[in-house]
């Protein structure tokens, strides 16, 4: 999932021009989030 967040972060300037915000939703477990948190 973290690579998708990185990709969307790259689109942020264009999304801001369009008055849009990025929203992320994950259904992973807390332990999974802790594992990839350091990667994002």
pLDDT confidence of residue 1: 53
8 to 22, 25, 40: CA distances (angstroms):
7, 13, 12
Task: State the DSSP H helix or E strand holding residue 8, giving kind and residue range, or none if neither.
Answer: helix 2-10
pLDDT digits (tens, 9 = 90+) for 1-40: 557 778 888 998 999 999 998 887 878 888 888 887 777 6
Q: Is the model's pTM score more than 0.75?
A: no
């Amino acid at each position: 999932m973290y690579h998708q967040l990185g990709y969307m972060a790259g689109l942020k300037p264009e999304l801001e021009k369009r008055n849009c915000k990025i929203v992320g939703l994950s259904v992973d477990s807390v332990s999974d989030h802790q594992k990839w948190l350091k990667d994002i």
